[in-house]
Amino acid sequence: MAKQLNSYLHKVQYYETDQMGVVHHSNYIRWFEEARTELMDAIGFGYARMEEEGVIIPVLSVACEYKSMVKYGETVEIRPVIESFNGVRLTIRYEITDAKTGELRTTGESKHAFLNRAYRPVSLKKQHPEIYELLLDLMENGVKAEK
Amino acid sequence: MAKQLNSYLHKVQYYETDQMGVVHHSNYIRWFEEARTELMDAIGFGYARMEEEGVIIPVLSVACEYKSMVKYGETVEIRPVIESFNGVRLTIRYEITDAKTGELRTTGESKHAFLNRAYRPVSLKKQHPEIYELLLDLMENGVKAEK
Amino acid sequence: MAKQLNSYLHKVQYYETDQMGVVHHSNYIRWFEEARTELMDAIGFGYARMEEEGVIIPVLSVACEYKSMVKYGETVEIRPVIESFNGVRLTIRYEITDAKTGELRTTGESKHAFLNRAYRPVSLKKQHPEIYELLLDLMENGVKAEK
Amino acid sequence: MAKQLNSYLHKVQYYETDQMGVVHHSNYIRWFEEARTELMDAIGFGYARMEEEGVIIPVLSVACEYKSMVKYGETVEIRPVIESFNGVRLTIRYEITDAKTGELRTTGESKHAFLNRAYRPVSLKKQHPEIYELLLDLMENGVKAEK
């Protein structure tokens, strides 16, 4: 079974531009989040479920490399891919391309931990095995078509 | 005793501009909030106190008229003035001018209610008389110099 | 032929929430813009065309009334309707409802002028008759289904 | 002569929080920019001068590590330091601490190039020697007290 990469489309908004006539660089960090939450939704581990289970996934770090500029009027495609996951830490890589031409715009990365409601680290494997399996499967097989 | 108007300075940030080369119109709504919270701090009724007393002040409406454009490199002065207050509802007027030239940039208004922790309306006069007096005094006399 | 209202869906993003656990009130102003530009695209008068013709449509004023709060996990439907248009000034009304329940969240309004590249007012009727007709038709008949 | 580090204060705004009750992680990228432009202003190479000389300084990459969370009601101190500069590339490191307690909140980095108005790389050393000297001096000696 071939990997099925999740991909998320974002139409650039006017309020995202700056006076250089391109999207302000801080917005890509927000687009990463959009794609990430969409990905979590897609595997059945969206925010509502997360809240219900009492799992918080803070951002430990982000990094972003700007390859070419995105302009108003364009739509970008954001592909988040699980780069590593061990039940305690999660690293997601992002690739942003122009949705029409496929030209690479940005690459980036975010790192995450898993906390409980008391903001203490949790081991998903032990305490939330079902979520652990979902994320492991996502890393190994991507998002399934039938989802 | 003369009225002492509170005034708040905001240096325009690059990320607040849009590709028309001016500050994006949505940011003025945020500047109103900056000036409003500064005003509340100034009369000793800042967020920490508000939380402690269990009073929430949601925004019921905002309005903003753009008179002339604000650009990067400029600093604006925002003057919030209590237009009306009756213990149940609060209306604040804002005037944004260029800090250097005094040229009028924007006028606006926000309306607010007072809720308790259960999101039910409260009468400040009955339930939080000290805050009621603070706001009444603010409306009538402005921010005191000695504060 | 019945009026065909344009409607625009926006999925609430996590970065749009504030610590009250709801969407920050400044974001609705941005959603109005999203719906407005979508509407302009829909009638064939998007940003690219506007630039080509040298027409700038600044925001003269905005107003927004918050009826009920929008939360993360929800999707809103934004309906912009041309309230008035005379070739020189344009007023757009907005209604934001919950996409699932239809519950009213927000109503608002934005007013606009038409300027040329030199930031001087233009009369669309005289100088850009085709755009004038497009907007007049939009006001009278809404967005056509066949578009 | 001791190095004089530039430091910039930012009071957290309510609209910068998210529903986790802390500052949304994308805002730190904006704070880096605030501190960076303040630094450039401090050495006499602010945006107006940059425009006049026709030098554009795009962001090539950003990275940010979140050490502890920043909350509404707090003020942060942001210290940008030139980590490397060779006339063609510039790397700035940032340290964000709580202004009151000094507790470390965030560290980060941004990388920049220098372009002319035609978006072509320029060598500051050859084409803008005065700016080159300013930045070199900033890297070696920090911001002077007498500035």
pLDDT at A29 over 90: yes
Single out the residue of A44, A14, A52, A47 nearest to residue A137, CA to CA.
Answer: A44
Query: Beta-strand (E) ranges in chain D?
Result: 8-11, 59-66, 75-85, 89-98, 104-113
Tokens of residue C47, six digits: 């940003």
Q: Do C17 and D18 touch (CB under 8 A)?
A: yes
ipTM: 0.92
Q: Select the residue from A12, A19, A26 to test the B interface by mutation, using most B Cβ atoms within 10 A.
A: A19
- Residues of chain B falling short of pLDDT 50: 1-4, 146-147
Contacts of A33 in chain C (CB under 8 A): 13-15
Chains that touch A (3 or more CB pairs under 8 A): B, C, D
CA distance B28 to A70: 25
pLDDT at C2 over 80: no
Q: Is the pLDDT of residue A145 over 90?
A: no
Distance from CA of A71 to the nearest CA of C (A): 11
Asked whether the beta carbons of residue B56 and residue C25 sit closer than 8 angstroms, the reply is no
Phi, psi of A78 (to 5 degrees): -115, 125
Residue A45 banded pLDDT, cuts 50, 70, 90? confident
- Inform me whether the pLDDT recorded for C4 exceeds 70: no
- Please say if the pLDDT value at position A126 is more than 70: yes
DSSP element (H, E) containing D138: helix D129-141
Share of chain C above pLDDT 70, in %: 94
Q: Where are the domains of chain D?
A: 8-141
Judged by CB atoms closer than 8 Å, whether chains meet at A18 and B14 is answered as yes
Strand partners, C84: C91
| Chain B: residue whose CA lies nearest to D13 | B34
Subunits next to C (3 or more Cβ pairs <8 Å) are: A, B, D
Q: Maximum Cα–Cα distance for chain A, whole Å?
A: 50
Could A73 and C46 be called an inter-chain contact, meaning their C-beta atoms sit closer than 8 Å? yes
- In D, which residues are within 8 Å of C14 by CB distance? 18-19, 24
Q: What is the pLDDT of residue D2?
A: 38
Least CA distance to B27: which residue of chain D?
Answer: D15
Q: Which range, B137-146, C61-70, C126-135, has the best average confidence (pLDDT)?
A: C61-70
Does the pLDDT value for residue C100 go beyond 90?
A: yes
- Tell me which of B9, B12, B13 to substitute to probe the interface with D (most D C-beta atoms closer than 10 Å): B13
- Comparing CB atoms, the residue among D15, D30, D34 nearest residue B30 is D15
Closest residue, chain A, to C46 (C-alpha): A73
Q: What is the pLDDT of residue A51?
A: 84
Residue D66's alpha-carbon distances to C19, D23, D97, D108, in angstroms, are: 19, 11, 11, 9
Tell me whether strands B89-98 and B75-85 are parallel, antiparallel or unpaired: antiparallel
Q: Where residue A19 falls among pLDDT bands split at 50, 70, 90?
A: very high
Tell me what pLDDT residue B146 has. 47
- In this prediction, residue D6 carries a pLDDT of 77
Chain C positions touching B25 (Cβ under 8 A) are 29, 59, 62
- Show which subunits contact B, needing at least 3 CB pairs below 8 angstroms: A, C, D
Most distant CA pair in chain D: distance in Å? 50
pLDDT band at A5 (very low <50, low <70, confident <90, very high): low
**pLDDT confidence of residue D146:** 47
Fold exhibited by the domain D8-141: Thiol Ester Dehydrase; Chain A (3.10.129)
Transcribe D36-58 into DSSP letters. HHHHHHHTT--HHHHHHHT-B--
Helix (H, G, I), strand (E, B) or coil at B132: helix
Per-residue confidence (pLDDT) for residue D147, from 0 to 100? 43
Q: Give D-chain residues touching B48 at CB under 8 angstroms.
A: 73
Cα dihedral D59, D61, D66, D67 sign: negative
Residue A118 tokens read as: 């008391």
Q: Average pLDDT of chain A?
A: 91
* Residues facing B109 on adjacent strands: B63, B93
Contact call for B46 and D72, based on CB within 8 A: no
What separation in angstroms does the CA of A41 have from each of A49, A137, A143? Answer: 9, 15, 11
Q: Which of these, B104, B13, B101, B29, lies nearest to B61 by C-alpha position?
A: B29
pLDDT (average), residues A70-74: 95
The arithmetic mean of pLDDT across residues A48-66, rounded, is 93
Please report the pLDDT score of residue D132 as a whole number. Answer: 94
* Chunked mean pLDDT (size 10), chain D, 147 residues: 67 96 97 95 87 92 97 96 95 97 98 94 93 92 66
Which pLDDT value is given to residue A116?
A: 93
pLDDT in the model for residue D91: 97
Mean pLDDT of A66-84: 96
D77: helix, coil or strand? strand
Q: What is the pLDDT of residue D142?
A: 82
Whole-model pTM: value is: 0.94
Best of D16, D19, D30, D74 to substitute, by most chain C Cβ atoms within 10 angstroms, is: D19
Say if the Cβ atoms of C64 and B60 lie within 8 Å.
Answer: no
Task: Judge residue B113's burial from the number of C-beta atoms within 10 Å of its C-beta, 0-12 exposed, 13-18 middle, 19 or more buried.
Answer: middle
| Average pLDDT rounded to a whole number, residues A76-93 | 96
The dihedrals phi and psi of C24, each to the nearest 5 degrees, come to -65, 140
CB contact under 8 A, D47 and B73: yes
The stretch C72-87 carries a mean pLDDT of: 95
Contact B15 A18 (CB under 8 A): yes
Structure tokens at D10: 């930012």
Residues present in chain C in total? 147
Q: In the predicted model, what is the mean pLDDT of residues C26-43? A: 95
